[in-house]
Chains A and B, each alone.
Chain A
């Protein structure tokens, strides 16, 4: 079964410092991996995705993620955090097999706090 793990419930970082939000995955076949951000009482905002190609994926708002096949990881990173980055971040995997129903499965989420 496809699954995603976000080992950290919360990540705290000071403004201006680099941030990393961790994600590991378990899939059958090639992974379609995503990162989304959610602000309070709002829907999901797409940040970036990995389908194929370069392992380093650049996305919205200065975020990037590195696909590491050997470690089955897809950590989200940003070189310099902003207070406005404080939100709930979800890693997700899409099951592209017909038998998987093309579902998008989400990790538990990681709350990011950026202190001024």
Chain B
């Protein structure tokens, strides 16, 4: 299957700082990328959907100004957690697909810890 690379794998940051997570499709053009959040022992909750070159569509309850998503190219989307707080600590996973794909392909996830 296609490869999606997420970076970094883990990050620790101080409260109040911002953290950027990258999601890259390595061998295909991703017209759509998705960002998920997973709390310990829970399912993946979709945060937002981003289409290349347009604004992201956020799920209900997700703060747009806190979780900034950029999808400037067909191979890269970024999620920036702004003014991070300890409650933002979580596992963030991206996925990417082209409309021709029957499935979306997932990155390996990023463990964010805010101290």
Mark A residues whose CB is within 8 Å of B. 32, 34, 36, 41-44, 46, 49, 51, 88, 90, 94, 96, 101-109, 111
Contact = CB atoms under 8 A, between A and B. Distances in A.
B99 to A, nearest CB: 7
Contacts of B43: 90, 106-109
Contacts, number: 57
Contacts of A42: 108-109
B85 interface: no
How would you classify the secondary structure of chain A's contact residues: helix, strand, loop or mixed?
A: strand
Contacts of B42: 108-109
How would you classify the secondary structure of chain B's contact residues: helix, strand, loop or mixed?
A: strand
A44 B106 contact: yes
Contacts of B104: 94, 102, 104
A106 B38 CA distance: 11
Contacts of B91: 41
Contacts of B108: 42-43
A90 B103 contact: no
Contacts of A44: 44, 93, 106, 109
Contacts of A109: 42-43
